[in-house]
Structure 1
């Protein structure tokens, strides 16, 4: 096998690295709803939370997002006015988050996007802005889940994001201003504490988090692949791939985040 082929094959593997200790699990912007496949019209409950989902740890305070919307069949629907400020409770603290109730009527794919106001992390002396996508389908009709949205930074799924099975793999391509990002570091997390939307809180941890952050690296085409070991919500954050590097005079990590929900084959 040639050296180039060895390198390409290596980049396609999920890298389980010892970059951080368990006390430094990743910040993740959540865009959560309990159901991603709807068979009939419904009002969809959504929660926007900034937290450490795999660690099931500290919940950060969210400012009101800069933008919140969905795309459906090439049409953008603004949702920022629908947001209500709430307090979301984690195991150790509660903090500001946001809730919305969104009517879903027509068949097809709905790509939800939140563009948060950058969050200042004092321990790292930088701002974090995670441009986050999540997907819902009504009626089983595909209508554009694989299309990029033109965000400054985004992950575009290469597998149908509302039909992910445990034991399969998920692949995505990391884009910055529409161009693939080679060698992007993608942190991977799973929602450990089941969200309770009635109480606006995380439940008890269901697993012990690994001792290090789960990480994948994008290949020469900007693509990464991850094997799905368990049902539930999986998040992927491509760190610092956005073009904006400064905010209010300090360093900015502009990340691309994507969430999928994996189910067991029954």
Structure 2
């Protein structure tokens, strides 16, 4: 897996292969469009979701904040650990209930603690965004949050049609990042919210390794979503912080979007 930023790329999208599928910080709840107020359970798992593979132990995240109509709701102290029983191992993950009351967009922003990847001798920190909506009323899903690095969606992330495209704008310290590598994965075995295990596998990994896109000169990328479900996009090494505890840090921006079939 290649993590450092690559040189400037002219193409807005370039699918290539890397040796293995990626680490992905998951921020998951099965239903992202609600029609009534709820305490929405969400699971935060550091995993290899496309291959239903190895899960990594998370330590206490640095922050969990839900953004709604310009208000930042800090839920960091609501995070509780649990054991996720992946297909091949068990790992510590976290969960929290998100209060959804009024109509509009809820942007979930998780900043996990850096994870030490022994095989690469680096730390990985994936600053992750996911989205909920109540009442089908748009109220700011496309607004940046001012995170160190983030992907701003250019399509409504709770309602993308399978077979259409998703576009995002990659920012680092608020500025577009050109020539950045974006790894793309499908959530092939959505977690069972009660059992804390992977659910039934709905897709197999593609041959040739990870799916990769590149941002263009304007920091934008576009990818076609061939299948309904949850898709994750990770911009590797896009953040401003490059070192943690004397070792290299890959500070990544991650976003999860939901694609549905046309009714």
Q: TM-score, normalized by length of structure 1?
A: 0.93
Tell me if 1:258 matches 2:259.
no
Q: What is the Cα-based RMSD across aligned positions, in Å?
A: 1.3
Equivalent residue runs for 1:119-158 within 5 Å: 119-158=115-154
C-alpha displacement at 1:12, in angstroms? 2.2
Note the alpha carbon deviations across 1:150-200, whole angstroms, 9 max, x for none.
010000000111110101100000000000000110000011112100101
Q: Which residue of 2 aligns with 1:12?
A: 12
Preserved CA contact (<8 Å) 1:68 1:113: yes
Determine helix, strand or coil for the equivalent of 1:205.
coil
Question: Do the aligned partners of 2:68 and 2:107 also contact (CA within 8 Å) in 1?
Answer: yes
Structure 1: 5+ residue runs without aligned partners?
1-7
Structure 2 alignment gaps of length 5 or more: 1-7
Any idea what the Cα deviations from partners look like across 1:209-251, whole Å, max 9, x if unmatched? Answer: 1121000000010000000100111000000010000000000
Distance 2:109 2:214 in 1: 23
Partner-residue secondary structure (3-state), 1:81? helix
Matches within 5 A, 1:1-266: 11-13=11-13, 15-20=14-19, 24-211=20-207, 212-266=209-263
- Equivalences, count: 255
Q: Are the equivalent residues in 1 in contact too, given 2:9–2:215 (CA < 8 A)?
A: no
Return the alpha-carbon distance in structure 2 between the equivalents of residues 70 and 204 of structure 1.
29
Contact 2:39 2:98 in 1 (8 A): yes
Q: CA deviation at 1:9?
A: 10
Residues 116-164 of structure 1 show CA distances to partners (whole Å, capped at 9, x for unaligned) of 0000000000000000000001111111111100010000000111110
* Aligned counterpart, 1:4: none
**Contact map agreement 1:16 1:213 (CA 8 A) in 2:** no
Whole-angstrom distance in 2 between the partners of 1:204 and 1:122: 30
Q: Distance in 1 between matches of 2:15 and 2:245?
A: 34
Are the equivalent residues in 2 in contact too, given 1:91–1:204 (CA < 8 A)?
A: no
- Kindly indicate which of the two structures has a greater share of residues assigned to helix: 1
